[in-house]
């Protein structure tokens, strides 16, 4: 079944929006009316049709436009894509994973033909038809990680595993919630999570690391994370803070519905076979408040979550300035009725 790829922008005139059926498949991250950290990790297995878990690597209506936005970011700042010298093998692993998953899940849009090391990759939405030799850098226009992640929605962090820790040694990061690959490159798991409040004291990172280092081939895992973004901007990076930081002062009761977005990250965790590295695809989904409130359960629940969020978390996520305005706006959609457990719309 073909996807109808939207032509839209994530900057300047911000024409991004979700079609009604894509609103329903949004990965709403709150299973109850309150939010606190938890190591909310579950097996990354296929979920029901009509959800973002239908395929393990999700491609949606924003694909073509997101890839165009990524190319703009990279042209302005090539350091958004970095791979330390020992990570090339992991890049090939990632290329194989993404090509295989896409070709299996979306045969109308992608196809992969393998004859030994001679591979032919067809990406119809982006008009790509390349034949190359797996493992031979000279046969691709970019390194393997950059090549395939210029064709894959979401950010990708490839983590080397050694000395009982994980090291951020390669990545493609252009749709991030205010963190920088160029700053974090080469850091270990505790170092790059150092700014997160409350979670260290709860021992969350020690447990999470123990879990992640034991992830095995063929058994990926996932979790959801969330924040909020003003305007549907994918590139909310520290490098470009001067371009988007001030947007947070532009929220008024009149423009909340169109301007304020819930931003959800679907993070999945995969062991890579040749390199024994881990890859974390971090896929960003945006939904406007106007779109969110079309699902009444989500409107009620998000109002309650935002209202009761601990102040440290609100500050860390950068919500402080506009939170009261958004809570006030959402309160119109919360009649106090109880909500059903679980993520799904009623």
Partner 1 sequence: MSAGTTKLNVTVTDVVTVNELVKRFHFERTDGGDLPTFSGGAHVVVEMRDGDKSRLNPYSLMSSPHNTRDYTISVRRDDSGRGGSLFMHNRVKRGMEMVISYPVNLFSLDLRAKKHLLVAGGIGITPFMAQTAQLAGEGGNFELHYTCRTPALGTYADVLRDRYGKRVNVYYDDANERLPLERLLTSQPLGTHLYVCGPAGMIRWVRETAAAHGWPDETVHYEHFAAPQPGLPFDVTLALSKKQIHVGEEQSLLEAMEAAGIDPPYLCRGGVCGQCETNVVSYDGTFRHNDHWLTEAEHCSGKKIMPCVSRFEGKSLVLER
Name the segment binding partner 1 (CB under 8 A); options: 26-34, 101-109, 234-242, 273-281.
273-281
41 in contact with partner 1 (CB under 8 A): yes
Name the segment binding partner 1 (CB under 8 A); options: 39-47, 177-185, 226-234, 278-286.
39-47
By C-beta, is 46 or 217 nearer to partner 1? 217
> Least distance to partner 1 from the beta carbon of 278, Å?
12
* SS3 of the chain: CCCCCCCCCCCCCCCCCCCHHHHHCCCCCCCCCCCCCCCCCEECCCCCCCCCCCCCCCCCCCHHHHHHHHHHHHHHCHHHEEECHHHHHHHHHHHHHHHHHHHHHCCCCEEEEEECCEEEEEECCCCEEEEEECCCHHHCCCCHHHHHHCCCCCEEEEEEEECCEEEEEEEECCCCECCCHHHHCCCEHHHHCCCCCCCCCCCHHHHHHHHHHCCCCCCCEEEEEEEEEECCCCCECCCCHHHHHHHHHCCCCCCHHHHEEEEEEEEEEEECCCCCCEEEEEEEEEEEHHHHCCCHHHHHHHHHHHHHCCHHHHHHCCCCCCHHHHHHHHHCCCCCCCCCCCCCCC
d(CA 165, CA 57) in angstroms, rounded, equals: 26
Residue in 221, 262, 279, 295 binding partner 1, rule: CB under 8 A: 221
138 in contact with partner 1 (CB under 8 A): no
> Least distance to partner 1 from the beta carbon of 100, Å?
11
215 in contact with partner 1 (CB under 8 A): yes
Sheet holding 118-123, edge to edge: 110-115, 118-123, 128-133
> Least distance to partner 1 from the beta carbon of 227, Å?
25
218 in contact with partner 1 (CB under 8 A): yes
Name the segment binding partner 1 (CB under 8 A); options: 54-62, 191-199, 237-245, 267-275.
267-275
Whether residue 223 lies in the annotated active site: yes
> Least distance to partner 1 from the beta carbon of 212, Å?
10
By C-beta, is 117 or 254 nearer to partner 1? 117
d(CA 303, CA 35) in angstroms, rounded, equals: 12
Residue in 118, 120, 207, 219 binding partner 1, rule: CB under 8 A: 219
> Least distance to partner 1 from the beta carbon of 137, Å?
12
43 in contact with partner 1 (CB under 8 A): yes
Segment 154 to 213, residues that bind partner 1, using CB under 8 A: 160-163, 210-211
d(CA 123, CA 109) in angstroms, rounded, equals: 6
d(CA 62, CA 8) in angstroms, rounded, equals: 8
Q: Which residue has the tokens 């990926």?
A: 220
Residue in 42, 201, 335, 346 binding partner 1, rule: CB under 8 A: 42
Q: Mask 88-107, x = binds partner 1 (CB under 8 A)?
A: -x------------------
Q: Give the active site residue among 223, 233, 248, 283.
A: 223
87 in contact with partner 1 (CB under 8 A): yes
Question: What is the size of the binding site for partner 1 (CB under 8 A)?
Answer: 24
By C-beta, is 59 or 95 nearer to partner 1? 95
Residue in 275, 302, 303, 329 binding partner 1, rule: CB under 8 A: 275
- Active site members: 223
Binding footprint of partner 1 on the chain (CB under 8 A): 41-43, 85-87, 89, 160-163, 210-211, 214-219, 221, 273-276
């Amino acid at each position: 079944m073909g996807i109808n790829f939207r032509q839209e922008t994530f900057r300047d005139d911000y024409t991004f929006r979700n079609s009604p059926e894509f609103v329903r498949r949004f990965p709403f991250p709150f299973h109850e009316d309150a939010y606190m950290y938890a190591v909310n990790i579950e097996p990354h297995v296929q979920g029901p049709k009509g959800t973002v878990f239908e395929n393990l690597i999700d491609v949606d209506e924003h694909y073509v436009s997101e890839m165009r936005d990524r190319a703009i970011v990279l042209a302005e700042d090539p350091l958004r894509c970095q791979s330390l010298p020992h990570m090339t093998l992991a890049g090939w692993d990632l290329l194989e994973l993404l090509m295989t998953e896409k070709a299996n899940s979306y045969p109308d849009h992608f196809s992969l033909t393998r004859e030994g090391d001679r591979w032919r990759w067809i990406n119809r939405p982006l008009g790509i038809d390349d034949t190359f030799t797996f493992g031979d850098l000279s046969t691709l226009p970019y390194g393997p990680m950059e090549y395939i992640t210029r064709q894959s929605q979401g950010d990708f962090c490839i983590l080397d595993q050694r000395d009982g820790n994980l090291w951020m040694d390669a990545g493609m990061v252009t749709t991030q919630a205010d963190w920088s690959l160029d700053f974090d490159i080469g850091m270990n798991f505790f170092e790059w999570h150092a700014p997160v409040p409350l979670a260290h004291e709860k021992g969350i990172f020690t447990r999470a690391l123990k879990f992640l280092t034991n992830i095995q081939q063929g058994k990926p895992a996932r979790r959801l994370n969330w924040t909020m973004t003003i305007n549907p901007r994918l590139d909310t990076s520290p490098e470009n803070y001067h371009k988007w930081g001030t947007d947070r002062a532009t929220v008024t009761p009149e423009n909340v519905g169109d301007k304020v977005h819930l931003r959800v990250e679907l993070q999945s965790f995969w062991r890579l076979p040749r390199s024994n590295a881990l890859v974390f695809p971090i896929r960003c989904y945006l939904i406007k408040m106007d779109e969110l409130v079309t699902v009444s359960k989500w409107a009620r629940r998000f109002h309650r979550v935002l209202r009761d969020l601990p102040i440290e978390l609100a500050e860390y996520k950068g919500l402080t300035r506009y939170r009261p305005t958004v809570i006030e706006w959402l309160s119109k959609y919360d009649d106090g009725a109880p909500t059903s457990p679980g993520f799904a719309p009623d």
